[in-house]
Amino acid sequence: MMKKVTALCLLLTLTASLCGGCAGSVATSSGTSAESTGTSTTQSSPGSEQKTAAGGIIKLGAVLPLSGASAESGIACQQGLELAVAEINQNGGIEMNGDTYQLKLYCEDDGGSPDQSVSVATKLIEMDEVSVVYSSCLSSCALAIMDICDQYPDVLFTTIECTSDNFSTIIAQNTERYVNFYKPYYNSSDYGAAFGELIADLSEKGVIDFTNKTVAYIVEDTDAGRSCVKACEAALEKFCGGSTTVAAEVVTQGSTDFYSQINKFKALNPDVVMTFFVPLNSGVAYTKQVDEIGSDWVDIAFVYPLKAGFVEQTGAACEGLFWLPMQVDFWNNEECAAFADKVYEMFPNAGLNAMHLSSYLGVYMVSDAITQAGTNNARDGLAKTYGAMDYQTINGRYVFKEDHTAIASPEHLVISAAQVQNGEYKVVWPANFAYAEPVAQK
Amino acid sequence: MNLSYWIEMIMSGVVTGTCYAMIGAGLSLIWGTLKMVNLAHGEYYMLGSYFLWTLLTVGNMPLIPAIIISIVGVVIFAAAVHFAAIRPLLRKPGWNMSPWILTLGLQILLQNLALKIWGELYRNVPYFWNTVFKPWNMFTMSGQRIIILTSTAVIILALMTVIKKTRLGRAIIATSQDGEYAMMMGINIKQIYFITYTISAGLAAVAGILLCPVYSVNPWMGATVQTKGLVVCILGGLGNIEGAIIAGILMGIVESIAVSAIGSEWRDAIAYIFLLGVLYMKPSGLFGKKKGV
Amino acid sequence: MQNIYKLILLRKKQIAFVSAAAALLTLIAMPFVVTKIYYIHVLILCMMFSCITSAWNLIAGYAGVFSFGFQALFGTGAYVSALLSIHFGWSPWITMWMGAAAAMAVGALVAIPSLKLKELPYICIATLCMGEIIRLIASNFPELTRGELGLSQIPKLFQDNIKVKSYYLMLVILVVTLMIVVKIVHSPMGMSLKAMRDSQEASESLGINIAGTKIRIYMVGAFIAGFTGAFYAHYMNILTPTSVLGTALMTQYVAMCLIGGIGTIAGPILGSFTITASLELLRKLEDYRLIIYALLIIVTIIFLRDGIWGTFKSLIIARAEKHQNRNIKKETIV
Amino acid sequence: MLKVDSVNAFYGDVQTLFDVSMEIRENEIVTILGSNGAGKTTLIKTICNLLPIRSGSIYYKEERIDKVPPYKRVDLGMSLVPEGRRLFPDMSVMDNLLLGAYSLRDKKQIQENLEWVISLFPWLSERSKQSAGTLSGGEQQMCAIARGLMIRPQLVIFDEPSLGLAPVIVDQIFETLSKITRENNSTILLIEQNAQTALEISDRGYVLENGHVVLEGSSDTLLGSPEIQKSYLGL
């Protein structure tokens, strides 16, 4: 009895202190909230500028899956953002209307679930009063956040490496509603196109045998995965005069047991097997298991080979593997290699991948836009400026289409394909970027 | 669809099944004696693999000692958990949901601790025995899979002999059948609770260690396996260890056939439907005793 | 002191009523106190969870049917309502009811195995499987549900995004839910439920139609869950299978229920508010958040195994009764 | 040998034993009579500490045992043959017997006891592989008794051994009981409804009613007493 009483008291005090701690924050923030809600309407006047960027600070918020199955991507993004912010602040912050501001980054975890990402975005905007929200690297979460962007016209929303086509379609339908939402990345349909062209090119070169035009897919059960299959089929229709999909296997994200699928494929005997995984382990497992069971098809991988440690973990098994998109060439592009070193310098055991760079560049794009626009308020022109930007980076040019999606093309963001040749990545497509000849797999 | 195809299918099913079997057997054992469902069971599986990974890569130890140490480590951890958290809840006669929710909390805790300690990256353990066999050119068999199958078989046999033949085994069965009178036979059931809990944690750890080279290591690897483990130990008849083991293998095979016949996205659905079908025909599971509890 | 206890014992009902009224008033007043939409949002979530957990508690805590497939009902309500309003352009105000009805139907379906199965874990796992199957169906028909990409662009209940309106709507739903729950618990049906929970055989011998009662209670719970789900769909405007049909949701309900105190009316609500709020408040702790959250759960369960409210209640009552007995003894002595 | 001293026991809030006191001396057979719900089984549970007592004390060979955990009883040479033949149904007869000797670690000892028990119930030897659940009622009871004797206990407590058995078997069983006292000079506490047979073999007896000891004395006096004749022997 007594024990219970004490326990109850203990718990009550605990919760009380918790609530107390937050009540404090409530008090403070609701104090400021009054004025900020007051100002948010009259923000257009330059006087209120100082208020939102008070104390020479501009606040950036990020909604990321820092826990759960997608944490790998989420944490990569967080590291990229932190790196960029640290760098910018070291170099004296960013310039806006003559005076310089320091950047402050708020990263929040949404566990990869859309409803939480909405809560978190609301929190960032309402409580931390951020002026830019990096709205997730998962399309589903980004779509959820996209839905509230018109409620906060003063805030700029920009995604990190979301590939779903839906953004384009939705935005195209109603551009002025999503005037402050941007997706600085290409669509999965662009992936697909690249896939189609690559196959066409390789079979033309006689590197692969695509006579039966049979394709099998293993993709993970995410929007990106599923829509990628559609995109690839469409592209093959376009560039190879059609194809037959002998099997389209959808596995849960992060799954690592592909024996059954591989055996199935052996019986179906496709020309090409396309695999799309974001987590590295799925890719490694698949590659090892194919090598183990043995196959006579051509493997074309999406996304995962770029993750750090793929070659190390698969060893000889990945030799000759074709993969795309080679979003960043950390191996043969000096600048990108230098960037990789910077990441490792700040996060020694980071799992380097393209998300680091995309998020890193995301910060620079936004800060440039702020400098150009002379405001950190989306409605006062930040959104417009950001959308109109033509941003030259170490990894291609970011230019937004009218559907607020970055253009994918040889002169903008290149989707190049690479092959593993003696344990090294070599770009083999498109021709004008290739510095190695594709060779037959196995 | 020739013979070798089916052999391959069955083989891959069996390999997956062994994992389910070990987890399921552990859960079944715990259910039998402690009359609780351990929702943190998958996390012991996860810990097992992580310990091995750490010892191999960070501590760069030789394989065998690494394996032994990691199993022992998990067992010790489980023992600590048992004393700290589980035992206080078992004091009350009769059981309710509170042990479940406790283990649920444990699950969240361990997953996020793992994330904190080992990071978000998916870790990968090299194959123990990196060769490939082609018996009669019928099907391929990697050394790792042979190791998995043989050692699982050995462990399961050992477990069964312990349960069936030894004094301890009799005590465990007695406790699970009638705790009160087991005590009157001179059995210290608290001790039995403790032993069964640690044994099943050990089983989970072994499963994790054997399979982590094939499936790689991450903080969330336990959750999915555990759900299947639960399904399996219900399918085999709750508290029936042989049942759980057979059901595990069976479930693995069913899944891999489901993949080949229908498609991966329906794999789990088929597994669940299979269970429901069995329960519909035999409400106490495949090998469950008909008891109106 | 003793008088207080006496009061508690004699005036149980009144006290409950007064405190409930006070709670309601505070909830009504909330939007005027907190200006931040974020807090309104969190409160809406708290109330939403209170509804679902109360419904689950009705089934698990009172009828003793531990369904682990309950999230499926929530999800069904959400998806049906959303799909109808999207594809047929019907007003959410109508489709919400349809969603709830659909959930009810599914509920009846999920209830059936729990009648055949006797042992608790069998029920849990069987219902869990059903829930998972429904989830897989939702995620494997992308043409219809857009799968994991998420069903976005769901029509809103209030075209002007004024959260306070949703807040009050949710409050109404919560109040109605609680009225239903209280009504059932204090009705003869409630009695038979408790009898069922405590001993199947006994209640059978008492001539309670177990199957009928279970299915009915399950459908009531399903309706509440479905309606809440539908509200959620039109409030959040995005659905993904994992977020509204995933087992994580289920474990959250269970946690809330047991932390609050299962088998009590106030327990689930308390639990929902505590957990939802603390999860949001713990954000300060960044990546230690979930660890602390888990520790909170563990500590609570170890020390207060009947949950916060359950323990509190039993404590007070026990104390009061002891006092009373003591007084009686005194009287007898004198 | 065993002394129960003004024990009060509760099931939850319901009191089931009201200062019950009784004593069993060396090498005697004591019967406890009582109708259903008189508290016979509760009494046994308290003696075995399966049900902790509120007040009072229990002594075994002059040492207090009401706080000693149940599983230690066997080491003290005390064994229980449960009511309703609660064998472990899924285990073989042999395993059940071996469980009876769980507390013994000396293989030779176990073997000897096993032989002795089988000498009492010869049929056990050929049925040893059979699972206990499949035995007939009488066999189960005998098996339970055998299990109880596996440690050659000084004190055996029989909880309604004759419950629901054919008279022939009942006689057989009581036959064995008296045999045990003779061969193993052990003390027996016998809980029974079947007053006649029980009292015939026993030296003394107690009568429980609603948790109170209402009558005690030597078997003959009890057999003679009108209450007993009325309420138990139906004369």
pLDDT at position B69, please? 94
**C39 contacts A4? CB cut-off 8 A:** no
| DSSP assignment string, B13-42 | HHHHHHHHHHHHHHHHHHHHHH----TTHH
- What proportion of chain C, given as a percentage, has pLDDT over 70? 90
- Considering CB atoms only, which of C35, C142, C239 is closest to A34? C35
pLDDT at position B1, please? 54
Q: Looking at the structure, do residues A420 and A271 belong to the same domain, yes or no?
A: yes
Q: How far is B235 from chain C (nearest CA, A)?
A: 9
- Considering CB atoms only, which of D82, D89, D98 is closest to B170? D98
Q: Looking at the structure, do residues A368 and A350 belong to the same domain, yes or no?
A: yes
pLDDT at residue A183 is higher than 50:
yes
Q: Looking at the structure, do residues A182 and A286 belong to the same domain, yes or no?
A: no
Which of A90, A193, A77 has the alpha carbon at shortest distance from A136? A77
Chain C touched by B224 (CB under 8 Å):
no
What is the pLDDT averaged over residues C40-66? 87
Q: How far is B59 from chain A (nearest CA, A)?
A: 16
Is residue C34 within 8 Å of A31, Cβ to Cβ?
Answer: no
pLDDT at residue A19 is higher than 60:
no
Instruction: pLDDT band for A10, please (50, 70, 90 cuts).
Output: low
Instruction: pLDDT band for A47, please (50, 70, 90 cuts).
Output: very low
pLDDT at position D192, please? 83
Q: Which two tokens stand for residue D185?
A: 């000079």
Closest alpha carbon within chain B to A218: B264
Please tell me the total count of domains within chain A: 2
- Considering CB atoms only, which of D70, D75, D98 is closest to B183? D70
Query: Measured between beta carbons, which residues in chain A are less than 8 angstroms from residue C45?
Result: 119
pLDDT at position A33, please? 33
Q: Cα angle vertex D154, ends D153, D159, to 5°?
A: 70
Instruction: List Cβ neighbours of D160 (8 Å cut-off, separation of 6 or more).
Output: D40, D83, D84, D191, D192, D193
pLDDT at residue A254 is higher than 50:
yes
pLDDT at position B195, please? 93
pLDDT at residue A44 is higher than 70:
no
pLDDT at position B94, please? 45
| Euclidean distance between CA atoms A32 and C315, whole angstroms | 43
Number of Cβ pairs < 8 A linking chain B and chain D: 63
* Structural domain range at position C166: 2-333
Is residue A166 within 8 Å of A187, Cβ to Cβ?
Answer: no
DSSP state of A378: I
Instruction: pLDDT band for B289, please (50, 70, 90 cuts).
Output: low
pTM of the entire predicted model: 0.85
**D75 contacts B186? CB cut-off 8 A:** yes
- pLDDT tens digits for D77-119? 888 888 766 788 888 888 888 888 888 888 898 898 888 888 8
Query: Measured between beta carbons, which residues in chain C are less than 8 angstroms from residue A10?
Result: 303
Q: Looking at the structure, do residues A270 and A389 belong to the same domain, yes or no?
A: no
Chains A and D: 3 or more CB pairs within 8 Å of each other: no
Interfacial B residues in 83-112 facing C (CB < 8 Å) = 85, 88-89, 92, 96-98, 100-102, 104-109, 111-112
Q: Where are the alpha helices (DSSP H) in A42-165?
A: 46-52, 71-90, 114-126, 139-146
Number of Cβ pairs < 8 A linking chain A and chain C: 135
Which of A73, A309, A343 has the alpha carbon at shortest distance from A185? A73
Q: Looking at the structure, do residues A194 and A314 belong to the same domain, yes or no?
A: yes
- pLDDT tens digits for A295-327? 889 999 998 888 878 888 888 888 989 988 888
Query: Measured between beta carbons, which residues in chain B are less than 8 angstroms from residue C117?
Result: 279, 283
3-state secondary structure of C240: coil
- pLDDT tens digits for C174-196? 999 999 988 888 888 777 777 77
Q: Which two tokens stand for residue C138?
A: 């939702």
| Euclidean distance between CA atoms C70 and C229, whole angstroms | 11
Orientation angle between helical segments C210-236 and C188-198, nearest 10 degrees: 100
Residue B93 preceded by cis peptide, ω within 30: no
pLDDT at residue A25 is higher than 70:
no
Is residue B174 within 8 Å of B185, Cβ to Cβ?
Answer: yes
Number of Cβ pairs < 8 A linking chain A and chain B: 105
Checking ipTM against 0.90, whether it exceeds it is: no
Instruction: pLDDT band for A273, please (50, 70, 90 cuts).
Output: very high
Q: Looking at the structure, do residues A218 and A339 belong to the same domain, yes or no?
A: no
**D103 contacts B186? CB cut-off 8 A:** yes
pLDDT at residue B55 is higher than 90:
yes
Q: Are strands D55-60 and D63-64 parallel, antiparallel or unpaired?
A: antiparallel
pLDDT at residue A111 is higher than 70:
yes
pLDDT at position A2, please? 55
- pLDDT tens digits for A376-434? 899 988 999 999 988 888 888 899 988 899 988 888 888 889 999 988 888 888 888 88
In degrees rounded to 5, what are phi and psi of residue C158? -120, 115
Instruction: List Cβ neighbours of B162 (8 Å cut-off, separation of 6 or more).
Output: B168, B169
Which of A361, A290, A357, A364 has the alpha carbon at shortest distance from A326? A357
Q: How far is B74 from chain D (nearest CA, A)?
A: 30
| Euclidean distance between CA atoms D6 and D58, whole angstroms | 9
Query: Which stretches in chain D have pLDDT values below 70?
Result: 12, 84-85, 233-235
pLDDT at residue C307 is higher than 60:
yes
* Mean pLDDT computed over every residue of chain B: 86
**C274 contacts A170? CB cut-off 8 A:** no
Q: Which two tokens stand for residue A10?
A: 């203990």
* Mean pLDDT computed over every residue of chain A: 83
**C259 contacts B272? CB cut-off 8 A:** no
N-to-C CA span, chain D: 34
Q: Looking at the structure, do residues A338 and A323 belong to the same domain, yes or no?
A: no
Is residue A94 within 8 Å of A101, Cβ to Cβ?
Answer: yes
How many Cα atoms occupy the beta-carbon half-sphere of A304 within 13 Å? 31
pLDDT at position B91, please? 60
Residue D52 preceded by cis peptide, ω within 30: no
Instruction: pLDDT band for A30, please (50, 70, 90 cuts).
Output: very low
Query: Measured between beta carbons, which residues in chain A are less than 8 angstroms from residue C280?
Result: 119, 123
**C295 contacts B105? CB cut-off 8 A:** yes
Q: Looking at the structure, do residues A210 and A293 belong to the same domain, yes or no?
A: yes
pLDDT at position A333, please? 84
What is the pLDDT averaged over residues A222-250? 88
Q: Looking at the structure, do residues A426 and A294 belong to the same domain, yes or no?
A: yes
**C240 contacts A114? CB cut-off 8 A:** yes
For the purposes of burial, counting CB atoms within 10 Å of the CB of D217, is it exposed (0-12), middle (13-18) or buried (19 or more)? middle
| Euclidean distance between CA atoms A337 and C175, whole angstroms | 60
Which of B36, B38, B24, B50 has the alpha carbon at shortest distance from B111? B50
Instruction: pLDDT band for C82, please (50, 70, 90 cuts).
Output: very high
pLDDT at position A260, please? 86
Is residue C239 within 8 Å of C84, Cβ to Cβ?
Answer: no
Instruction: List Cβ neighbours of B45 (8 Å cut-off, separation of 6 or more).
Output: B23, B204, B205, B207, B208, B221, B222, B225, B226
CATH number of the structural domain spanning residue A251: 3.40.50.2300
Q: How far is CA A5 from CA A10, C8, C315, D6, in A?
A: 9, 18, 8, 33
| Euclidean distance between CA atoms B290 and A285, whole angstroms | 42
**B224 contacts A259? CB cut-off 8 A:** no
- Map tokens 């379906």 to a residue: C109
E strands, B93-202, in order: 132-133, 141-142
Chain A touched by B177 (CB under 8 Å):
no
3-state secondary structure of A102: strand
Helix/strand/coil (H, E, C) string of D107-158?
Answer: HHHHHHHHHHHHHHCCCHHHHCCCEHHHCCHHHHHHHHHHHHHCCCCCEEEE
**C121 contacts B234? CB cut-off 8 A:** yes
**A74 contacts B120? CB cut-off 8 A:** yes
Q: Looking at the structure, do residues A305 and A381 belong to the same domain, yes or no?
A: no
* Structural domain range at position A420: 189-327+414-433
- Considering CB atoms only, which of B9, B120, B265 is closest to A250? B265
Q: How far is CA B100 from CA B240, B285, C124, in A?
A: 20, 21, 11
| Euclidean distance between CA atoms D48 and D23, whole angstroms | 15
Interfacial B residues in 146-185 facing D (CB < 8 Å) = 167, 170-171, 173-174, 177-178, 180-185
Chain C touched by B180 (CB under 8 Å):
no
Q: Which two tokens stand for residue A139?
A: 């399309």
Instruction: pLDDT band for B264, please (50, 70, 90 cuts).
Output: confident
pLDDT at residue A22 is higher than 50:
no
Instruction: pLDDT band for A28, please (50, 70, 90 cuts).
Output: very low
**Amino acid code (one letter) for B172:** I
What is the pLDDT averaged over residues C53-67? 85
* Mean pLDDT computed over every residue of chain C: 83
The percent helix, strand, coil of chain D (3-state, each to 5) is 40, 25, 30
pLDDT at position B8, please? 83
Under an 8 Å CB criterion, which residues of A touch B?
66-69, 71-72, 74-75, 218, 221, 247-252, 254-257, 259-261, 263-264, 266-267, 279-281, 284-285, 288-289, 292-294, 309, 313, 349, 351
Closest alpha carbon within chain C to B272: C129
A48 within domain boundaries: no
Which range has highest mean pLDDT (A248-252, B213-217, C14-18)?
A: A248-252
Instruction: pLDDT band for A67, please (50, 70, 90 cuts).
Output: confident
Instruction: pLDDT band for B51, please (50, 70, 90 cuts).
Output: very high
| Euclidean distance between CA atoms B115 and C307, whole angstroms | 29
Q: Looking at the structure, do residues A320 and A429 belong to the same domain, yes or no?
A: yes
Query: Measured between beta carbons, which residues in chain C are less than 8 angstroms from residue B283?
Result: 116-118, 122
- Considering CB atoms only, which of A74, A251, A279 is closest to B264? A251
Chains D and C: 3 or more CB pairs within 8 Å of each other: no
Chain C touched by B242 (CB under 8 Å):
no
pLDDT at position A43, please? 36
What is the pLDDT averaged over residues A332-336? 86
Higher pLDDT, B14 or B290: B14
Architecture of domain B3-281: Orthogonal Bundle (1.10)
Q: Which two tokens stand for residue D235?
A: 């004369």
Higher pLDDT, B259 or A36: B259
Please tell me the total count of domains within chain C: 1
Chain D touched by B265 (CB under 8 Å):
no
Q: How far is B191 from chain D (nearest CA, A)?
A: 11
pLDDT at residue B292 is higher than 70:
no
